Amino acid sequence: MNSEPTLLFLFFSLVSLLCLSAFFSGAETAMMAANRIKLKNLTKKLDKGAKRALKLLEKPDLLLATTLVGSNLANILASSIVTILMLSYFGGNVLLGAVLLTTFILIFAEIIPKTIAAVKPESFVKLSSFSLKIFLFILRPLTAVVNYLSSIVLKLFSINVNDAKDNDNLNTQELKTLLEESGDLIPKQYRGMLSSILGMEELVVEDIMTSTSEVIGIDINLDYKTNKQIIESSQYTRLPVFQNSLDNELGTLHLKDSHSFLEKLELNQDVRSVLSKTYFVSQSTALMKQLKEFQDNDKNIALVVDEYGEIEGLITIEDIFKEIAGKFGSEKAELEKEFTKLKDGAIVTDGNSRIRDLNNFVNWSIPEDNSKTINGLITMHLDQIPQNKLCVEIEQYRFEIIKIEDNSISRIKIKKIEFNN
């Protein structure tokens, strides 16, 4: 009479333990796979499940111990019940019971819950966080003992569990890899901007500065009308002021003071009183550091000097922002004029064009470590100033000199060499 209720109780207990094992297996996977940034965003929307999950994730070692202890405890008790069932009701075929239980545990308590948790970790975490919090409290004495014994064994292998906390920071290359593999998680326009920011770590001021020959400024030796036109047509809010050349700099003019400046210029008076002091920076300064220095010193423009103090060019805070955000529409149009793309994929341009601009324009990787312009790269490769039209190969690029003027390449054709496997 009592055998039927006992059998039902054992079956009910077995199913409950398998469900419990499945819960712990899924929770373990979900907690380790959950995106903390997504959970933090959910907490801002007052999601209690996400808030509980983040609290649990603050102690990953304790959380992992709880899920593993809970899962193994459930499986061991389930194994004991199957043994009782097989001995009492199924002719003592314990081996068959072990095979059936192992199959059920693998499919229903491991593979299925772990797969669900891996596919939707944040949803699983939110739903399981309340129950996990309870089990964390119930199993705490047992997990404390397990953690203590584990730490003793780990110390024998010179492993400190606290070292894992120090390995959370990612280096630049790891961040780049993470960005590349983010897929649609990060919108394309933001991926490009973040990639530019990470790439800035390798850049210095010299890489993006405007060279001396291309700097637009005010030469007080020029006539009043010419300087007025330069000021009125300027797209910048600040301009360098000099006498004959940048080497004889006088200061920086803010366009809000242009009226007073032009008045003094017209009357041949000293203009220095309306100019701000010139800010100098080294061409070897890291770009990220220079951005901070611009902000700390409340500066927007600086003249760039080399190791000997010679002025090499000019950089503005806007140049750095453009490096982050990418080229704007008008600048893209200018690059298309500068670099003529032929049908065969080759590029025709000026020898003074920047290698960096060309690389960005056609996604090439022409070396720019030792020279910033195409003309400089060819001259360095030949170890002399090119005198005749010729063709040279540098790494996987062919450079065909079309025209030379004043000992400088004025027109050149560049093509990437495709190697057949």
Q: 331 to each of 319, 327, 328, how far by Cα in Å?
A: 12, 6, 5
In 10 A of CB 177, how many CB atoms? Answer: 12
pLDDT at 332: 63
Query: How many residues are given for the chain?
Result: 421
Tokens linked to 384? 């002399």
**What is residue 4's predicted lDDT score, i.e. its pLDDT?**
60
* Secondary structure percentages of the chain, helix, strand, coil, to 5: 60, 15, 25
For CA atoms 360, 363, 364, 367, the dihedral sign is positive
- Predicted confidence pLDDT, tens digits, the chain (421 residues): 456 668 888 889 999 999 999 999 999 999 888 888 788 888 888 888 888 988 888 888 888 889 999 999 999 999 999 999 888 888 788 888 889 999 999 999 999 999 999 999 988 988 999 999 999 999 998 888 888 888 888 888 877 666 555 555 667 676 767 666 666 667 766 776 777 777 777 788 988 888 887 888 999 999 899 999 999 988 888 999 999 989 999 999 999 999 999 999 888 889 999 999 999 999 999 998 999 999 999 999 999 999 888 999 999 998 888 877 765 544 566 677 788 889 888 999 988 888 888 888 888 889 887 778 898 888 888 888 777 778 888 988 999 999 888 778 888 999 998 766 5
pLDDT score at 304: 95
pLDDT 10s digits, 57-113? 888 888 888 999 999 999 999 999 999 988 888 878 888 888 999 999 999 999 999
| pLDDT recorded at residue 134 | 93
CATH superfamily membership of 203-319: CBS-domain (3.10.580.10)
What pTM, to 2 d.p., does this model score? 0.56
Contact 408, 378 (CB under 8 A): no
**Rounded Cα–Cα distance for residues 267 and 54 (Å):** 70
Among residues 351, 311, 285, which one has the least CA distance to residue 212?
311
Q: For the structural domain made of 329-416, what CATH number should be given? A: 3.30.465.10
Cα atoms found within 13 Å of the Cα of residue 108, Cβ hemisphere only: 14
Q: Residue ranges of the alpha helices (H) in 90-186? A: 94-104, 112-119, 121-138, 140-156, 172-180
Domain ranges of the chain: 3-161, 172-201, 203-319, 329-416
Q: Judge whether 373 and 354 are in contact, CB under 8 Å.
A: yes
Euclidean distance between CA atoms 107 and 121, whole angstroms: 19
Instruction: Give residue for tokens 């080294």.
Output: 282
Q: What are phi and psi of 267, to 5 degrees?
A: -95, 10
* CA dist., res. 77 & res. 98, Å (int): 13
